[in-house]
Structure 1
């Protein structure tokens, strides 16, 4: 049995019992082989297709320098492709789709397409469900202080005291970058004690996050439904306390969901 087949069988075992969205996600991952998504990095907003991106990115780090949320990283020597190229690891820090997309504007080569200057044009990938049974909303579980603390740990611009107390102090002299990240933490802290729906409640898609993700009734609780406006920013992946979601880079809603609906109806 090949290594690829073993991986596929292992994934399908994990997918058993995931329901319609889980099955769609499972199909999406393996359909993704057709356009080399399974090993791909999530690229910053506006990234051109991967092979083109790798040839155009000059590893200058300008996108990283201007990112207001510290979402962008540079591939190190242990990476599988493109040492020095910019990418996003949504488990460490998702993209929050900031206004005017300074990362796109800062790119000197067009590896981040300068035409991608509005939210509808910055398509990065597609969110999928990979671990339905871990969803806290299904069991009506509430957001805890520890869940919030994870995101405080991801935030570099706050003080150690703010991080330890899990409470930010808004200062009039804070730079815009600090204000934006503190505002995110404030919104997160307001969710403590409420039933978990962090992925939908803090989705940064504007003007209407419900076009990208929403909570639907399922098995006595709620469950995230990925919708066609999702741009794959990865914020939901970072915010989810139990790793229910992940992003398929460059995938579209049609690639992941419409194709699988068709195969299930065939």
Structure 2
């Protein structure tokens, strides 16, 4: 091998190793701005990452096709684990992912009002009153009508101003349906 070819080869190998070494660092910086949800019934984030066997069955059974899988964007510990971006596609609370999960990373939750409101903790909706049309004097109410738990997770006041209640499970249907750009209601994940 010529010296120039060897030198170029070594430069490429060094650059590749440096890029791979930087991936977890880059993703750690980006992770705070990358807002995602885990499927309903998921264990705490640390337990989830160590229990999930990356089988893909939760996504395959999801009728709404809202479950995706991480690449490198969330760090090496999260590779191939399922997540949901509610603005793109939200959870419809069918609870099928927990029924099929073979590892227990997603716990089964019965599809009953009581089970969902007590066992599902994906996150909680937060309203930005500066962006919300109803809080700006224009009647909207789209988030309320999208909620599968109206008057339990969210209620509306005058001009259909949304008020998020304690039993919000964080499914993201309100965020997905919000007509504002950027959205006036967002789910803040519960990675507990």
| TM-score, normalising length: structure 2 | 0.72
Question: Is contact 1:90–1:235 with CA below 8 Å preserved after alignment?
Answer: yes
Q: Say if 2:85 is the partner of 1:89.
A: yes
Partner of 1:21: none
Q: Say if 2:129 is the partner of 1:127.
A: no
Partner of 2:66: 71
Provide the rounded CA distance (Å) in 2 between the counterparts of 1:56 and 1:92.
26
- 1:96 is displaced (CA, Å) by 1.3
Unmatched tracts of structure 2, length 5 or more: 1-30
- 1:41 is displaced (CA, Å) by 3.0
- Considering Cα pairs closer than 8 Å and 6+ residues apart, tell me whether 1 or 2 has the greater RCO: 1
Please give the per-residue CA displacement for 1:6-49, whole angstroms capped at 9, x wherever unaligned. xxxxxxxxxxxxxxxxxxxxxxxxxxxxxx98766310000000
Alignment CA distance shift 1:112-1:96 (3 Å)? same
Structure with max Cα Rg? 2
Unmatched tracts of structure 1, length 5 or more: 1-35, 142-194, 253-266
Q: Say if 2:188 is the partner of 1:248.
A: yes
Q: Say if 2:83 is the partner of 1:103.
A: no
Alignment CA distance shift 1:139-1:128 (3 Å)? closer
SS at match of 2:174: helix
Partner of 1:179: none
Provide the rounded CA distance (Å) in 1 between the counterparts of 2:165 and 2:58.
28
Give the number of aligned pairs: 154
SS at match of 1:133: coil
SS at match of 1:68: coil
- 1:84 is displaced (CA, Å) by 0.8
Match of 2:151 among 194, 210, 215: 210
- 1:79 is displaced (CA, Å) by 3.0
